[in-house]
Amino acid sequence: MTLQMMNTSDEFDDQIIKGLIEIIAIEGPILTSRAFNLYAKKGGIAKLTPTVSKRIMAALKKALRTKDILLELDISSDKSIGLLWLPSMQKVIPREYGARGFSEIPASELGEVMFELADEVGQQKDQLYQKMVEVYGLGQLPKNASPRLDLVYKEYIA
């Protein structure tokens, strides 16, 4: 008699991929950090641990190989944040601020908004940043937003 072992890793990867695709379909394009946190939260995990992140990343790599999910590096100071989107969607979709934090808005989205606003208010940083505050319905620019906006400005406007 031989025992037949199921490859539960593949099945678990497929479950994770399905969950990520659902998140990306609703929230995408989305930064990897936000997608991972939403996946963990959806799964009842209070805190995204390094072990959970590694497991999600392993499944994401499989989805990238099969092109079920697409990835590009987001503009960031440390070049470690990815942008995820589905093949059926545009890579840049400006959206309302919503439940995201400012740091969770993809740089490509910020760049697109900034580029459009430059036609309206000119290319001066202060005016652009203030107009972005208005567009996203914020009272003021979040505390740590300027360095990120400076990177986006350099990439899209300067």
- Distance between CA 96 and CA 7 in Å, rounded? 41
Which bin fits 4, alpha (ψ -120 to 50), beta or left (φ > 0)?
beta
| CATH fold for the domain made of 8-89 | Arc Repressor Mutant, subunit A (1.10.10)
pTM score > 0.85 for this model? yes
pLDDT of residue 6: 46
Residue 80's pLDDT is what? 77
Q: Which residue has the tokens 């470690």?
A: 80
Provide the pLDDT for residue 8: 58
Cis-peptide, bond into residue 147, ω within 30° of zero: no
Ranges in the chain, pLDDT < 50: 1-6
Question: What's the pLDDT score for residue 23?
Answer: 97
Q: What is the pLDDT of residue 3?
A: 46
Structure tokens at 87: 């093949």
